Amino acid sequence: FGPDYVRAIAPYQGGRPIAEVAREFGLDEARIVKLASNENPLGMPESAKKAIALAIADAGRYPDGNGFELKAALTAKYGVPAEWITLGNGSNDILELSAHAFVQPGQSVIYAQYSFAVYPLATQAVGGRSLVVAAKDFGHDLEAMIDAIEDDTRLIFIANPNNPTGTFIPGHEIESFLKRVPPNVVVVLDEAYTEFLAPELQYDSIAWVAQYPNLLVSRSMSKVYGLAGLRIGYGIAQPGITDLLNRIRQPFNVNSLAQAAAIAALNDTEFVKKSAELNAAGYHQLTQAFDALKLMYVPSCGNFVLVKVGDDDGAGARINLALLKQGVIVRPVGNYGLPQWLRISIGLEEENAICLAALKKALA
Ligand code: PMP
């Protein structure tokens, strides 16, 4: 069935579920450490749990399809009009909506090698043509991405920080990039991990939205806000973009519990601060151990680290299996073209320690 370009899609491979790994390897679920999906190791903030408990009373009704209250919270936070906001079922939804809204079959989409797996998926799902630009030092080569633009290019995906490599593009480089992109090409600036950036790296992409009608900033509430299971993200862009995304999204794409939790989490600055601090400490813990083990890793600005576990192309899969047998789930990245590497999400201190001990054993 279906068009060739749909049949050609390689399905998304997520982190393996705890229950499945426990069953396959005969392990106790409670003892499994999952550092595979860049989740917040603190889980959901208490404020969000309380908001959900209250919202359950009304969950027999449809959610507010336009997310009036959540948009009001975002408006207050970012100082942008509600008309500039699109809510998504996770920020994945925003990425996919962008491809659907702006790309016709045969038209081209640009993204970097080793960037987020959903970019090729979203492109292929609409019959778009991928122009994959070779990575530079595991990150985006913005100069080459400008050179790659063709007459029929309609969309460019940039992940900053990037997943799975954790690389970061300084704000001024993105701004000069935006100046050079033709106005009929939409730039999706995917900032799923932006809240983890050290203060000296932070930049104000929302301010650029007023300047660039072709810019869509995408944010996730799955990472620092700890709401991955609820599926909520949002896009900020001028109405020329937002209006189209809103026409094609599902009418009730964000459920009512997620909306309630998101409002609470957005205002929970304590939780965000604590999460970012825990992440910084965990990054230090993991990378110190990698140094001691003489393992190469890519310096990361996200809540995960890409680490090289061997010199042969079987290394990632082999070490991954050895970790699974010890009840540690991380992410192999062979599907990203990185078969010698593993991506390890930063967990709680004790989770990181368990993972590191298992890694040491696996490498021995
Ligand atoms: N963008 C990037 C770069 C990501 O790594 C992820 C999560 N893996 C997402 C977007 C999507 O996250 P979510 O749909 O949970 O908001």
State whether 255 and 292 are in the same domain.
no
Ligand 1 within 6 A of 40 CB? no
Ligand 1 within 6 A of 228 CB? yes
> What is the identity of the amino acid at 304?
F
Mean per-residue pLDDT, 147-173: 98
- Specify the pairing of strand 108-112 against strand 129-133: parallel
Nearest CA to 169 out of 150, 208, 143, 142 is that of 142
Mean per-residue pLDDT, 155-184: 98
- Hey, which of 220, 227, 304, 345 would you mutate to test ligand 1's pocket, going by the most ligand atoms within 8 Å of its Cβ? 220
Q: Torsions phi, psi of 344, nearest 5?
A: -115, 120
Is residue 161 within 8 Å of residue 302, measured between CB atoms? yes
Ligand 1 within 6 A of 191 CB? no
Tokens 């309380």: give the residue. 50
Residue range 5-40, pLDDT digits in tens: 999 999 898 899 999 999 999 999 999 999 999 999
pLDDT at 297: 98
Reading the block at residue 12, the tokens are 């998304």
Ligand 1 within 6 A of 91 CB? yes
Hey, what long-range contacts does 1-8 have (CB within 8 A, 24 or more apart)?
A: 3/105, 3/127, 5/105, 5/124, 5/127, 6/124, 6/125, 8/124
State whether 63 and 184 are in the same domain.
yes
Residue range 212-255, pLDDT digits in tens: 999 999 999 999 999 999 999 999 999 999 999 999 999 999 99
- Hey, which of 37, 116, 254, 343 would you mutate to test ligand 1's pocket, going by the most ligand atoms within 8 Å of its Cβ? 116
State whether 241 and 225 are in the same domain.
yes
Hey, what long-range contacts does 8-14 have (CB within 8 A, 24 or more apart)?
A: 8/124, 9/121, 9/124, 9/125, 10/335, 12/117, 12/118, 12/121, 13/117, 13/335
Work out the burial of residue 182: count CB atoms within 10 Å of its CB; fewer than 13 is exposed, 13-18 middle, 19 or more buried. Answer: exposed
pLDDT at 331: 97
Ligand 1 within 6 A of 159 CB? yes
Q: Give the ligand 1 atom nearest the CA of 161.
A: 3
DSSP string, 186-240: EEEEE-TTGGGS-GGG---HHHHHHH-TTEEEEEESSSTT--GGG--EEEE--HH
Cα–Cα distances in angstroms (integers) from residue 307 to residues 249, 268, 326, in the given order: 37, 32, 19
CA of 88 to the centre of ligand 1 (A): 11
pTM above threshold 0.90: yes
**In the chain, how many domains are there?**
2
Give the range among 4-13, 53-62, 138-147, 148-157 with minimum mean pLDDT: 4-13
Give the HSE-up count for residue 157: Cα atoms under 13 Å, Cβ half-sphere. 35
State whether 133 and 248 are in the same domain.
yes
Reading the block at residue 242, the tokens are 């937002």
State whether 139 and 233 are in the same domain.
yes
Return the CATH number at 37. 3.90.1150.10
Of all protein residues, whose CA lies closest to atom 2 belonging to ligand 1?
192
Model confidence band, residue 136 (pLDDT cutoffs 50, 70, 90): very high
pLDDT at 321: 97
State whether 179 and 289 are in the same domain.
no
Mean per-residue pLDDT, 259-286: 98
Q: Give the ligand 1 atom nearest the CA of 233.
A: 16
Model ipTM over 0.85: yes
Ligand 1 within 6 A of 326 CB? no
State whether 341 and 263 are in the same domain.
no
Of 232, 267, 302, which residue constitutes the final position of a domain?
267
- Chain centroid to Cα 219, Å, comes to 8
Torsion sign (Cα): 257, 260, 262, 264:
negative
Tokens 């005969």: give the residue. 26
pLDDT at 13: 86
CA of 157 to the centre of ligand 1 (A): 13
CA of 220 to the centre of ligand 1 (A): 6
Of 219, 243, 267, which residue constitutes the final position of a domain?
267
Ligand 1 within 6 A of 253 CB? no
State whether 205 and 317 are in the same domain.
no
State whether 51 and 176 are in the same domain.
yes
Model confidence band, residue 200 (pLDDT cutoffs 50, 70, 90): very high
pLDDT at 87: 98
State whether 307 and 340 are in the same domain.
yes
Return the CATH number at 244. 3.40.640.10
State whether 75 and 95 are in the same domain.
yes
pLDDT at 114: 98
Of 211, 234, 267, which residue constitutes the final position of a domain?
267
The domain in which residue 328 lies consists of: 4-43+270-363
Residue range 106-127, pLDDT digits in tens: 999 999 999 999 999 999 999 9
State whether 234 and 276 are in the same domain.
no
